[in-house]
């Protein structure tokens, strides 16, 4: 008789953390994938899906791109090395792309918003950055109305057959 395998709750590839409110608060014009520098326990905590991106943002520090205010809780697996849960984490991009993004932030008032942290097919942690412009209250109301109309339209089409 074969023994049943216990399903692992670890994330080997796929989304580990997501900022669902970012697409509502910002008009995302472009998406960029960047690597992220993490320590071992941070990766383990991410694989358990415990990170939070709700208040995170990306910006410049000393000519490089960093992820600020991303919450990755300490790993509770008996690891001796501790880390700061909200420490700034370096983002890895090609130099030309980094200059282009930092120039757009300085020139056009663009914001770099982390949309999600995911693991690639090779198991490497990546951050999906959205290059976006902040929305006003009116824009948000318009987005809500458009979303409600799409939902109602789909419901009407389903009822008609």
> Tens digit of pLDDT per residue, the chain (161 long)?
455 544 456 776 778 888 888 888 888 889 999 999 988 888 888 888 888 888 888 988 998 999 999 998 887 776 566 778 889 999 999 999 999 988 888 888 788 999 999 998 888 899 999 998 887 888 889 888 999 999 999 999 998 87
Reduced to 3 states, what is the DSSP secondary structure of residue 78? coil
CATH number at residue 109: 2.40.280.10
Inside any domain, residue 32: yes
Q: Report the pLDDT value the prediction gives residue 74, as an integer from 0 to 100.
A: 84
Of 7, 13, 18, 12, which is closest to residue 130 (Cα–Cα)? Answer: 18
Inside any domain, residue 123: yes
Inside any domain, residue 103: yes
Inside any domain, residue 18: yes
Domain count, the chain: 1
For the chain, helix (H) and strand (E) counts, in that order, are 4, 7
Inside any domain, residue 25: yes
- Model-level pTM? 0.76
Q: Are 19 and 114 in contact (CB under 8 A)?
A: yes
- Residue 104 burial by CB count (10 A; 0-12/13-18/19+): exposed, middle or buried? middle
Q: Which domain holds residue 119?
A: 14-135
Inside any domain, residue 154: no
């Amino acid at each position: 008789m074969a023994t049943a395998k216990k399903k692992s709750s670890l994330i080997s590839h796929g989304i580990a953390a997501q900022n669902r409110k970012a697409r509502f608060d910002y008009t995302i014009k472009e998406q960029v994938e960047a690597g992220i520098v993490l320590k071992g326990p941070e990766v383990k905590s991410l694989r358990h899906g415990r990170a939070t991106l709700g208040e995170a943002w990306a910006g410049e520090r000393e000519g490089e791109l960093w992820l600020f205010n991303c919450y990755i809780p300490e790993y509770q697996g008996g690891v001796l090395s501790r880390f700061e849960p909200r420490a700034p984490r370096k983002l890895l991009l090609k130099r030309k792309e980094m200059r282009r993004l930092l120039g757009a932030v300085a020139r056009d008032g663009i914001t770099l918003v982390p949309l999600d942290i995911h693991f690639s097919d090779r198991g490497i942690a990546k951050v999906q950055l959205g290059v976006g412009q902040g929305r006003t209250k009116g824009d948000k109301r318009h987005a809500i109305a458009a979303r409600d109309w799409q939902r109602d339209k789909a419901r009407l089409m389903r009822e008609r057959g």
